[in-house]
């Protein structure tokens, strides 16, 4: 192994171990309601509303946001939202993302939005909003590894440790090329939140694009797997998000030793295959503008911008 490659692996090992240690010392401050108090799967018989492990799948019409709001407001929660805006993406997408998030992301709750940018001037000027704080965080250079997903997750893990873990009760990480079109509220809060993929949700499970190479840390064997999750949106308590980051970095490290390079979403899906999410967001929370929504998608809350909008 060349000296430069060895150094990369050692850096990944060091970060993964520090995240593992720190994850054991994070508090989980969000208590849960009984599912039946706010969730009624019978209202949407046209879709899957409950997983085999009894986690709710959040579709429009299945939840009572008022009950959830009263419960979580009593806890005086703060919700964090991390958005990674590198390069041209900051100029093209960041302002509409932040404007729409201020209106629709966790309305009525105290929200801290952490914007990871390369240069401070890329943060647009936004009018102050009640209960809303926007903080710019510098993307730490990772020129030694060109994978943007790796850079995003390394930065996310490091900032959870240095800033975020003591400031928020729940945390979401989202891709910047989205706009909120409807409210994403307390129904999305949970210990471990996964986003169902808009395209693959409606496809035959036998054809889901899992990593199948047995030597890969991301491998899900043929005949196994639950859903295909979209890496553009993840959430949960800071401890659980940190655990996801740790597992991803560890998987990348293991694959690198084998001469493999699996995708971020492959590692994400392996993580949620082993560690089942406690709440699943339907494709309504991350719909692709290139796709015509089927009848099951009654209300698009978050829209992934079409390639023609670049």
Which residues form the catalytic set? 265
Which DSSP category does 184 fall into? B
CA distance 120 to 49: 42
| Cα first-last separation, the chain | 40
CA distance 193 to 241: 9
**Opening angle at CA 235, ends 234 and 239, nearest 5:** 120
Residues counted in the chain: 310
**Opening angle at CA 210, ends 205 and 215, nearest 5:** 140
Query: Residue 178 corresponds to which tokens in the numbers above?
Result: 């989205």
Q: Is 177 annotated as a binding residue?
A: yes
CA quadruple 197, 239, 133, 141: dihedral sign: negative
Q: Is 197 annotated as a binding residue?
A: yes
Q: How many helices (H) does the chain have, and how many strands (E)? A: 7, 11
CA distance 133 to 137: 13
The residues near 32 (Cβ < 8 Å, ≥ 6 apart) are: 190, 191
Which DSSP category does 194 fall into? E
The annotated binding site is made up of: 177, 197, 265, 288
């Amino acid at each position: 192994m060349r000296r430069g490659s060895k150094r990369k692996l050692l850096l990944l090992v060091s970060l993964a171990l520090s995240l593992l240690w720190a994850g054991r010392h994070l508090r989980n401050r969000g208590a849960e309601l009984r599912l039946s108090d706010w969730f009624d799967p019978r209202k949407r018989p046209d879709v899957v509303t409950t997983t085999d492990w009894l986690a709710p799948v959040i579709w429009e019409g299945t939840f009572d946001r008022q009950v959830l709001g009263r419960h979580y407001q009593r806890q005086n929660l703060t919700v964090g939202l991390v958005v990674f805006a590198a390069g041209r993406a900051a100029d093209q997408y960041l302002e509409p993302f932040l404007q729409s998030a201020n209106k629709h992301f966790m309305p009525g709750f105290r929200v801290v939005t952490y914007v990871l940018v390369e240069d401070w001037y890329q943060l647009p000027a936004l009018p102050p909003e009640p209960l809303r704080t926007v903080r710019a965080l510098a993307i730490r250079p990772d020129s030694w590894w060109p994978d943007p997903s790796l850079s995003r997750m390394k930065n996310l893990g490091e900032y959870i440790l240095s800033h975020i873990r003591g400031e928020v009760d729940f945390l979401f990480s989202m891709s910047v090329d989205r706009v909120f079109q409807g409210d994403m509220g307390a129904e999305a809060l949970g210990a471990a939140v996964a986003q169902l993929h808009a395209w693959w949700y409606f496809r035959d499970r036998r054809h889901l694009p899992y990593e199948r190479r047995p030597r890969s840390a991301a491998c899900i064997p043929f005949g196994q797997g639950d859903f295909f999750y979209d890496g553009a949106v993840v959430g949960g308590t800071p401890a659980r998000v940190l655990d996801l980051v740790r597992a991803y970095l560890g998987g990348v490290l293991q694959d690198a030793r084998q001469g493999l390079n699996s995708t971020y979403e492959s590692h994400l899906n392996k993580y949620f295959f082993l560690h089942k999410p406690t709440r699943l967001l339907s494709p309504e929370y991350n719909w692709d503008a290139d796709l015509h929504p089927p009848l099951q998608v009654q209300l698009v809350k978050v829209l992934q911008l079409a390639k023609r909008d670049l």
